[in-house]
Amino acid sequence: MIMRFITIDKKDWTKGIDKSRETYQLFGPVTDQNGCQIKALGADVQPEMTYSDSVLSAKSVLFPQSEKILNANLDETAQDHHIMKRAEADYSPRAVVGIRPFDAKAIQLVKMNFDTKDYRDPYWCDAYEATTFVGLGVNQPGPFDFSTSTGTGPFSEEGLDILLADMDHEYLAKLLTPKGEAFAKACGFDTEADAKESQIKLDVLRKAAEDKITSTVPTDKLAEKTILDLHEANFWDDIAFSCINCGTCTYVCPTCWCFDIQDEVKQNVNTRFRNWDTCMSPLFTRHATGHNPRGENTQRVRQRFMHKLKYFLDKYNSGIMCVGCGRCVKSCPVNIDIREVAKTMNGYEKQN
């Protein structure tokens, strides 16, 4: 694993990023009428490296909100009619510049679902392979950030190829992988910095940022609870009472991966799409028979929190399925707060 530091004078930043466009399609934070989002950057658009938080994470870079996955020719005179074939897509090198460390960690959690030893989702995996993640440490964590409780934090390196630290007039860049090295090279950034001194600077910045996160969420007892006890606990009706099933919490979540499949026919072409879906919608689990195993609001809310805080934890033994970005807390129109739910689940004792 490569691990070295370089410094990037901010005066050289724009030129370097523009140079990288010869090799990479760039994604990064941009603000429009819908707030800050991580999106594909137009030829003359720079990533906004001073953003505080983004409404949506970078998950759509690998898992678009709507993605063509297969198509078939319906013309019966064609030899291959009605045979589903993988839709063409561009998997040339791309880089997400300015991704927050907790969002990079979220991609590693999603990877556990899409890239397993038994099954590889080819769309997600090909996009992942094509992508370089250039992280930007969070000097000023927002009020909803509880990433230090979820095994990430403002300067976490997991899932990143480069970690940038904003040091006023320059970026200190920690090159973590060969992909990160290649991106720095494509930008023409190569001013070597002393590794020991740089790490000390980074640690000071990390500690200062971590100290600003005041929200802590207990998760230490979740593993020892039994699924059935939590499933049958008496608090779910209260938690779910005000939920309007809008699905916002799942769409903004960098670790949510539910999708639905839709076919669309236009003239002689059948295209199959996969679209983001949400476990908060009653339609998500409604069977063709009309039966719905999660037809009640409480069942759906319980599913979302049990998946994130218990099923995932038990299945992968790799922490909870939440990176503490706080987006769902900030965006929920009725103030349902995963921090409170985690606390309730963590402290729950079954009454005999």
Smallest gap from residue 33 Cβ to ligand SF4 (A): 21
Query: What sign results for the dihedral spanned by CA atoms 73, 74, 75, 77?
Result: positive
Total number of residues that touch ligand SF4 (CB under 6 A): 25
Smallest gap from residue 12 Cβ to ligand SF4 (A): 34
In 3D, which of 143, 160, 153, 132 has the Cα closest to residue 323?
Answer: 153
Rounded Cα gap, residues 35 and 136, in angstroms: 19
Site for ligand SF4 in 244-283 (CB under 6 A): 244-249, 252-255, 280
Smallest gap from residue 328 Cβ to ligand SF4 (A): 3
Q: Is 49 in the site for ligand SF4 (CB under 6 A)?
A: no
Please identify, among the stretches 2-10, 63-71, 174-182, 325-333, the one whose residues bind ligand SF4 according to the rule CB under 6 A.
325-333
Q: Is 156 in the site for ligand SF4 (CB under 6 A)?
A: no
User: Which is closer to ligand SF4, CB of 102 or CB of 171?
Assistant: 102
Q: Is 98 in the site for ligand SF4 (CB under 6 A)?
A: no
Angle between helical axes of 178-187 and 10-20 (0-180°, round to 10): 100
Q: Is 153 in the site for ligand SF4 (CB under 6 A)?
A: no
User: Which is closer to ligand SF4, CB of 27 or CB of 144?
Assistant: 144
Q: Is 105 in the site for ligand SF4 (CB under 6 A)?
A: no
User: Which is closer to ligand SF4, CB of 72 or CB of 99?
Assistant: 99
Q: Is 333 in the site for ligand SF4 (CB under 6 A)?
A: yes
Rounded Cα gap, residues 77 and 293, in angstroms: 43
List, in sequence order, every residue forming a beta bridge with 273; answer none if it has no partner: 68, 262
Q: If you search the block for the tokens 């499949």, which residue do you land on? A: 261
Q: Is 38 in the site for ligand SF4 (CB under 6 A)?
A: no
Q: Is 308 in the site for ligand SF4 (CB under 6 A)?
A: yes
In 3D, which of 322, 324, 326 has the Cα closest to residue 304?
Answer: 322
Smallest gap from residue 196 Cβ to ligand SF4 (A): 34
Q: Which helix (H) or strand (E) holds 163?
A: strand 162-167
Q: Is 332 in the site for ligand SF4 (CB under 6 A)?
A: yes
Q: Is 324 in the site for ligand SF4 (CB under 6 A)?
A: yes
Please identify, among the stretches 5-13, 135-143, 240-248, 260-268, the one whose residues bind ligand SF4 according to the rule CB under 6 A.
240-248
Q: Is 26 in the site for ligand SF4 (CB under 6 A)?
A: no
Q: Where are the alpha helices (DSSP H) in the chain?
A: 10-20, 59-62, 101-114, 122-130, 178-187, 195-212, 227-231, 236-240, 248-252, 297-306, 312-316, 327-331, 338-347
Q: Is 310 in the site for ligand SF4 (CB under 6 A)?
A: no
User: Which is closer to ligand SF4, CB of 199 or CB of 292?
Assistant: 292
Rounded Cα gap, residues 316 and 324, in angstroms: 18
Smallest gap from residue 3 Cβ to ligand SF4 (A): 27
Q: Is 28 in the site for ligand SF4 (CB under 6 A)?
A: no
What tokens were used for 91?
């998997």
Q: Is 175 in the site for ligand SF4 (CB under 6 A)?
A: no
Residue 95: φ, ψ to 5° = -135, 135
User: Which is closer to ligand SF4, CB of 244 or CB of 269?
Assistant: 244
Rounded Cα gap, residues 126 and 300, in angstroms: 32
Residue 114: φ, ψ to 5° = -95, -15
Which residues are CB-neighbours of 351 under 8 A, at least 6 positions away?
none
Q: Is 313 in the site for ligand SF4 (CB under 6 A)?
A: no
> Which residues are at the interface with ligand SF4 (CB under 6 A)?
243-249, 252-255, 280, 308, 322-328, 332-334, 336, 338
